[in-house]
Chains A and B, each alone.
Chain A
Amino acid sequence: MKQSSRQTGANRGGLWIVLVAAAALEAISCIMYFTSRNAIRHEAEQRARTELRKAELEIDVHAIEMETAAKALALLAERHIDQPDSIFSATRLAVSTLTANTSMAVAFIPDYFPQRGKYFEACSSRFSEDSIYTRQIGSKDHDYTQMEWWQNGFVHDSCWWCEPYLDDSGSQTIVVSCSYPVRDRQGKVVAVVCIDMSLGELKNLSDYLQVYPNSYYSIRSSSGVEIVPVPDTVAGKKYNIFQEEVDATGWHMEIIIPEEELFRDLNHIGRIVGILMIIGLAMLILIVWYAGRSNKRLIESTARNRSIENELNIARKIQMAMLPTRFPPFPDYPNLSAYGEVIPAKEVGGDLFDFYIRENKLFFCIADVSGKGVPASLVMAMTRSLFHSFTSYLDSPAQIVTQMNNALSGEGNDENMFVTLFLGVLDLASGDLKYCNAGHNAPVPLTVIPNLPLGVMAGYEFQEQEAKLEIGETLFLYTDGLNEAENERHEQFGEQRMLEQLAISRERSTQQIIEDMRQAVKTFVGEAEQSDDLTMFAIRLLRPSHTSEDHFSLVMRNDIQQIPTLAEWIEMIGMPEELNMPINLALEEAVSNVMLYAYPGKSGQVLVECVKSDRLVFTITDSGIPFDPTQQADPDVTQSAEERPIGGLGIFLVRQIMDDIRYERKDNKNILTLTKQL
């Protein structure tokens, strides 16, 4: 449950990142787009205005030129108003002053020159650079007086511009004309000068007005005649239109820029930015998704690690449960002091120590399995099991270790794991120690033969060694986790420090020795992490329970004369001064009892034995007739001298002195056991 909500949370977080990023990008793009649009529009307007003014100027220049030409021709005509031929020359001259292909004419009121007919219009036209054609074009068919330019030129006292019109007579182009009156000497208007100009002459205009490749322009006259028409394609589209009036002619100019043309580049950039934005967002989504997925993987692997860690903890607990934990381990053997512990490293390891007693012998071992983790702990469990198996019937350490090695070197050991092991068998009565060391650190104070570790080579012959553990002497076993414990500077604790610490703690109990050592290592190591299991195990004999010195025996014949030797023998056992006499007395009574009654009429032997530990156990054995002295009734010690029987005091005294008295008949022998606690 926890995992999935966490995962959804991660996805939701990712979604938010994508949405916010998309919104931010969109907002930035919109602002940039509209800002750019306004800037472009503004720039286009500026440019259109500039171009329109240039066009206006161009038209004005031509207009002024034409007006000037018209006025000049009118002036010439007024000078030669009476000479019709000079009028021709005047028009020719006027045309020649102009570079443009124009046509200039002077049209007189009807019948002004009667000899020349009713209509007289002198006209010169330039068709090419070199050729000016002059003629009289007035006639009945070409009645100029009916024409707009003539009528308006006649009545206006200034230049009058007519509406543009298609010149069907000559150039077949749109033509504009300008009229100006001609007066006689009396000031009366007698003729009208007309100057035509093809709009082809205004071809420079397109240079100005065609501001964009796909933009349009139009020019209309003041009355609405289209000089340059708006093309049909303009209809139904969105445009930006800029306008300008031409002062001289009253013309109206427009520059028409289609929206798509104006913002073509912007839209192009916009499309690129849009695509980049989508790619960016896609990448962001991908990153967020991937991050979410790896986050999920992390959560999963964390959970998996936790589960493994949990299982390792269980393994660790099981492993620790295999180690001895009860100290002192054998209440029945108070003379044996032993204490051991494993200080586990973080990881499951393969340290082991174990021991048990069989037939008054302590079988013990300490071992370190190579490597760490579960494999090492499994081998450790196996080693412990083998230790118990082989020590249950074998007494020789070398034989036990050899068998263990063969078992560990078998087919099961594919991992080539090996075990260093020290195994000892300590006779608790004598302190005699037999041991076999399989590549382990030598316990203090022993010296060891460097045998191979277990699991290296099957069939290896292990060498056995012997030593004697004196009373009060401590045998200290350890694994390399002790001497190789490292501090933060990677210095090792080392054997020297270990031996020094052991010397300091020498007089302390086995448990205190190990606690002191643990503290010394902890102080040395400081903050550094413990990398290996640290196992320590100490064994000491406090006071031998059944040593040979305390096992005494005395063989006597059934002769009362031998009784004094009993006193010497008891002296030899050595016991507290105050017990000497009572023990002597009790034994004498018991032994003399046997001497006197066990072998009636013949000779026999009495065996007296003593086992001394925390108590004195005497056994008196004879092969005589069955006789149980414990059945004898006690005398009444309160009786008067007269009443008291002479005998019967012996067994009474034994019972008084000893803590316990037992009789048994076994193998045709009488065995009397007397026990006195010390």
Chain B
Amino acid sequence: MKVNLVNEGEQLVAQLSGRLDTAAAVEIAPDFQTLAEQASKHIILDCSQLEYISSSGLRLFLSLRKESAAKGGKLQVRAINADIRQVFMMTGFISLFDII
């Protein structure tokens, strides 16, 4: 599991790749801490390389979502695959996030 943070102009893009399981969630927790510190910005979570997500990953997403809302930032989720969309559907995350 990898996270690449890229600045695209005003936007901060986090490129997630690999499987975001329980173990990976622990592994990338610091990256999401970094993102949370810049939550007032326009953050895009690029999921085009993300294969899988479990509840630990969802927790990271939700924490960032709350932080962004609190700091008046903007959070968008980009290019989720079918599996992840299915999990988003089950958990109601599909309506919590701005998915592009």
Contacts and interface: CB of A to CB of B under 8 A. Distances in A.
Contact of A560 (B23, B62, B90): B23
B91 A652 contact: yes
Interface string B42-86: 000000000010111011001101100100000000000001001
Secondary structure at the A interface, as helix, strand, loop or mixed, is helix
A561 B55 contact: no
A100 interface: no
B96 interface: yes
A563 interface: yes
Contact of B23 (A564, A581, A646): A564
B92 interface: yes
A656 B59 CA distance: 17
Interface residues of A, number: 29
A649 B96 contact: no
Interface residues of B, number: 23
A581 B86 contact: yes
Contacts of A563: 21-23
B92 A637 contact: yes
Nearest to A645: B62
B26 interface: yes
B91 A561 contact: no
Contacts of A657: 90
A584 interface: yes
A582 B87 CA distance: 8
Interface in A571-586: 581-582, 584-585
B19 interface: yes
Contacts of A642: 66, 69
Nearest to B92: A637
B86 A653 contact: no
A346 interface: no
Contacts of A224: none
A650 interface: yes
A644 B96 contact: yes
B96 A564 contact: no
Contacts of B87: 585, 653
A233 interface: no
B62 A592 contact: no
A567 interface: yes
A647 interface: yes
Contacts of A637: 90-92
A523 interface: no
Contacts of B23: 560-564
Interface in A621-659: 637-642, 644, 646-647, 649-650, 652-653, 656-657
Contacts of A638: 92
Given A637-B91, A641-B69, A652-B91, A646 B59 contact: yes
A564 B63 CA distance: 24
A638 B63 CA distance: 17
B96 A641 contact: yes
A570 to B, nearest CB: 11
A641 B65 contact: yes
A589 interface: yes
Interface in A511-558: none
Contacts of A588: 21-22, 54
A306 to B, nearest CB: 77
Nearest to A596: B22
B91 A646 contact: no
Nearest to B83: A581
B66 A560 contact: no
A581 B90 contact: no
Given A560-B23, A582-B86, A641-B96, 20 more contacts: A560-B22, A560-B26, A561-B23, A562-B23, A564-B19, A564-B21, A567-B19, A588-B21, A588-B54, A589-B54, A592-B54, A592-B56, A637-B90, A641-B62, A644-B62, A646-B62, A647-B59, A649-B91, A650-B55, A656-B90
15 contacts: A563-B23, A564-B23, A567-B21, A582-B86, A589-B54, A592-B54, A595-B22, A639-B92, A641-B65, A641-B69, A642-B69, A647-B59, A649-B55, A650-B54, A656-B90
In the A-B complex, the 10 residue pairs with the smallest Cβ-Cβ separation, listed nearest first, are A637-B92, A649-B55, A581-B83, A592-B22, A563-B23, A650-B55, A641-B96, A656-B90, A563-B22, A560-B23
